[in-house]
Structure 1
Amino acid sequence: MVNKHKYVTFSKNVFIPVTNICRNRCYYCGFRRDIRDEDAFLLNFDEVEEILRRGKEKGCSEALFTFGEYPEAVEGFSEMLEEEGYESFIKYVRDLCELALDIGMLPHTNPGSISFEELKVLREVNASMGLMLESTAKLKAHEKSPGKDPQIRIGTIEDAGRLKIPFTTGILVGIGEGREDRRRSLEVVRDLYEKYRHIQEVIIQNFVPKRETKMENYRALPMDELVETVRLAREILPNEIAIQIPSNLVPLEMIPEMIRCGANDLGGISPITPDHINPESKWPSEEDLRGILGDSFLLRERLPIYPAFICERKDGLKKNGGWYSERVSNLIERYADDDGFKREG
Structure 2
Amino acid sequence: MHRRVITYSRNAFLPLTTVCANRCGYCCFRTPVREGCIMPPGEVLRTMEVSAELGCTEALFTFGERPGAVPGFTAMLERIGYTDILDYVYDLSLAAIRLGLLPHTNAGILSYLELDRLRAVNASMGLMLETTAEVAAHRDSPGKKPGVRIEMIENAGKLSIPFTTGILVGIGETMEDREESFQVIRDLHRRFGHIQEVIVQNFRPKPGTPMEGTPTPETSELCATIALAREILPSDVAVQIPPNLADASHLIGCGVDDLGGVSPLTIDYVNPERPWPEIEELKRVAGDAELRERLCIYPQYIEKGWYSPLLEPLIRQLAERIRKAEPG
Confirm or deny: 8 A CA contact 1:8 1:297 kept in the other structure: yes
Instruction: Specify every segment of 5 or more residues in structure 1 that has no aligned partner in the other structure, as ranges.
Output: 312-320
The equivalent of 2:189 in structure 1 is 193
Q: Equivalent of 2:274, from 252, 277, 281?
A: 281
The equivalent of 1:151 in structure 2 is 147
Matched, 1:333 2:326: no
State the shift of 1:44 in Å. 1.7
Q: Equivalent of 1:35, from 16, 25, 33?
A: 33
Post-superposition CA distance 1:136-168 (Å, at most 9, x none) = 001110010000000000000000000000000
Q: CA RMSD in A?
A: 1.5
State the shift of 1:342 in Å. 5.4
Confirm or deny: 8 A CA contact 1:31 1:276 kept in the other structure: yes
Which 10-residue stretch deviates more, 123-132 or 284-293? Answer: 284-293
Post-superposition CA distance 1:160-196 (Å, at most 9, x none) = 0000000000000000000100000000000000000
Confirm or deny: 8 A CA contact 1:5 1:264 kept in the other structure: no
Matched, 1:177 2:173: yes
Q: Equivalent of 2:299, from 289, 307, 317?
A: 307
The equivalent of 1:207 in structure 2 is 203
SS at match of 1:308: helix
The equivalent of 2:229 in structure 1 is 233
TM-score (norm 1): 0.91
The equivalent of 2:41 in structure 1 is 45
Instruction: Specify every segment of 5 or more residues in structure 2 that has no aligned partner in the other structure, as ranges.
Output: none
TM-score (norm 2): 0.96
The equivalent of 2:246 in structure 1 is 250
Confirm or deny: 8 A CA contact 1:203 1:245 kept in the other structure: yes
Superposition map of 1:127-146 within 5 A:
127-146=123-142
Distance 1:343 1:16 in 2: 28
Matched, 1:8 2:1: no
State the shift of 1:305 in Å. 0.6
The equivalent of 1:318 in structure 2 is none
Distance 1:171 1:137 in 2: 11
The equivalent of 1:317 in structure 2 is none
Distance 1:268 1:332 in 2: 17
Confirm or deny: 8 A CA contact 2:262 2:277 kept in the other structure: yes
SS at match of 1:135: coil
Distance 1:327 1:6 in 2: 34
Distance 2:83 2:117 in 1: 15
Distance 1:273 1:17 in 2: 10
The equivalent of 1:78 in structure 2 is 74
The equivalent of 1:316 in structure 2 is none
State the shift of 1:5 in Å. 8.1
Q: How many residues align?
A: 325
Percent identity, aligned pairs only, is 52
Distance 1:292 1:47 in 2: 32
SS at match of 2:43: helix
Superposition map of 1:64-143 within 5 A:
64-143=60-139
Confirm or deny: 8 A CA contact 2:167 2:200 kept in the other structure: yes
State the shift of 1:337 in Å. 3.2
Confirm or deny: 8 A CA contact 1:206 1:226 kept in the other structure: yes
Distance 1:5 1:110, change over 3 A: farther
Confirm or deny: 8 A CA contact 2:197 2:238 kept in the other structure: yes
State the shift of 1:99 in Å. 0.8
